[in-house]
Chains A and B, each alone.
Chain A
Amino acid sequence: MERNLTCIVCPMGCSLKVELDGGEVKSVSGNTCPRGEVYARTECTNPMRTVTSTVRCSDGTVVAVKTDKPIPKDKVFDCMKAINNANPDLPIKIGCVIIDKIYGAKVIATQNAE
């Protein structure tokens, strides 16, 4: 089987072609760099996404956050629920942890707030 993908790792957005045999990736073509092949392999077996969003702090301030690494794609909405339930206190420094453990990642602040 063949699957066509768009690499989302960088703005080049290369069109990738993946040869699949059952669930197994046989070959990847169309990638400009090695990151494209890695992406195609995970995308066909266990797709992952980084989540970026915001949390509302206890005083009402809105602060931007992200998962520090990609999480399974089918867990994105569960992760959003956890983010929307978080209610951290100020001050918040860029990089500080908002949620400790979520699907193998952490949710960290990407903005400062005093």
Chain B
Amino acid sequence: MTDLVIIGGGPAGMSAAIAAYESGIRDILILERDVKLGGILQQCIHNGFGLHKFGEELTGPEYAWRYEEKVREYGILFKTGTMVLDITKDKIITATNEEDGIFTIQAKAIILAMGCRERSKGALNIAGSRPAGIFSAGTAQKFVNMKGYMPGKSVVILGSGDIGLIMARRMTLEGAEVKAVCELMPYSGGLARNIEQCLNDFNIPLKLSHTVVEIHGKERLEGVTIAQVDENRKPIDSTREFIACDTLLLSVGLIPENELTKAAEVELDRITNGAVVDQDRQTEKEGIFACGNVLHVHDLVDFVSEEAEIAGKSAASYIKSGTQNDMNAVIKTDGKIRYSVPQRITTKKDITVYFRVSDVFKNVKINVYKDGEQIYSKKKIKVAPGEMESIKLAGEKLDDAKELYLELEVL
């Protein structure tokens, strides 16, 4: 029997382990399928991490190292090169690695921290052939930053999320010509600073309301046809334009990696694709917690660490004294607010609710109703789907709540 097993050794897994250790738990094991700790941060060599948490601008690997050093200093056990194959709702974990073969562990508590993966290109609906030269932006990032191999020389990027923007700069610096970044939506899903420093610095055009409609080339990609889309996101034929390129990067979004979560029969949220959790990041399966990108996709690793600390502390308290719930409320959202994390409240205490909106809205109020009665309101100048928002609710206002309703009021 192991007190706490953490699945995934990225920033979420490591922060959770450190928080649990600092809350007095000693019997901790991190299982990581990669050869080293650090997760996706190992390939995110650009800077911009940790401003929130450390007040400095770190690169991804440096941010990860801050946590790995702590893990090592505390002597927290971890097994790398170890793939978790299955988890049951009774918290039996099956994993495999070269040294131990296939093995099982019974845990008192489990923290799910498996991160997310990129949406596959199969999901894309583009006419034409499928020649070599089409990559997801994250795969290209791994090639360039970890293997030192450039996937191509002239590039078009579909999708303007942060990974796509970062890769536009990265490939330009390594000598490629990035001809355009096309974004289906009328706004970018990436941070304004990345549009500025990754595209504008190099005069790379950002084509909003544009998509790739056709792929050309037999063995190797020879070009793409792009077109503007109308308000129903249908391509407008008269705007078709051919761009010669040997590489197409797809930056079309991330989805939480939840095969194991499903195996443990944990209830999933249809919008986040992650587990349904309470304020402690506990799923409705007692003793199974989740945090980081496996729970919902974060843009800032600082918030991943924050969330993981909550999960780590809560798992520690569960291991020591079980669950002590004193209420049971659900959090619902109005649709303009797409989802919230947590989705449930089971203990009366001060909580932060994270959420994302469905569109860009200006001059809004975020209202919270407890069983119909307004308990919170906050004005915001602008909200956008690319940026996670949060509100803080005082525990004393949550008395006997059954339902909290989050509303976005456009003023």
Contact = CB atoms under 8 A, between A and B. Distances in A.
A10 B45 contact: no
Interface in B11-69: 42, 45-48, 51, 57, 59, 61-62, 65
A62 interface: yes
A110 B38 CA distance: 13
Contacts of A112: 65
Interface residues of A, number: 28
A72 interface: no
A7, A77, A84, A94 — most chain B CB neighbours (10 Å): A94
A13 interface: yes
Contact of A56 (B48, B51, B148): B148
Given A66-B47, A110-B45, A94 B62 contact: yes
B201 interface: yes
Interface string B200-216: 01000000000000000
B145 interface: yes
A62 B148 contact: yes
A38 interface: no
Contacts of B196: 5-6, 8, 13
A29 to B, nearest CB: 15
Contacts of A10: 51, 193
B45, B65, B196 — most chain A CB neighbours (10 Å): B45
Interface string A1-34: 0000111111101010000000000000000000
Contacts of B46: 52
B197 A49 contact: yes
Contacts, number: 69
Contact of A49 (B42, B45, B59, B201): B201
B244 to A, nearest CB: 23
B102 interface: no
A64 interface: yes
A50 B173 CA distance: 12
B51, B65, B192, B195 — most chain A CB neighbours (10 Å): B192
Interface of A: 5-11, 13, 15, 49-54, 56, 62, 64, 66, 73, 76-77, 80, 84, 94, 110-112
28 contacts: A6-B192, A6-B196, A8-B193, A8-B197, A10-B193, A11-B51, A11-B300, A13-B191, A13-B192, A13-B193, A15-B192, A52-B47, A53-B45, A54-B45, A54-B144, A54-B145, A62-B145, A62-B146, A64-B45, A66-B45, A66-B47, A66-B59, A84-B174, A94-B62, A110-B45, A110-B59, A111-B45, A112-B65
Interchain residue pairs A-B with the least CB separation, the first 4: A13-B192, A64-B45, A62-B148, A6-B196
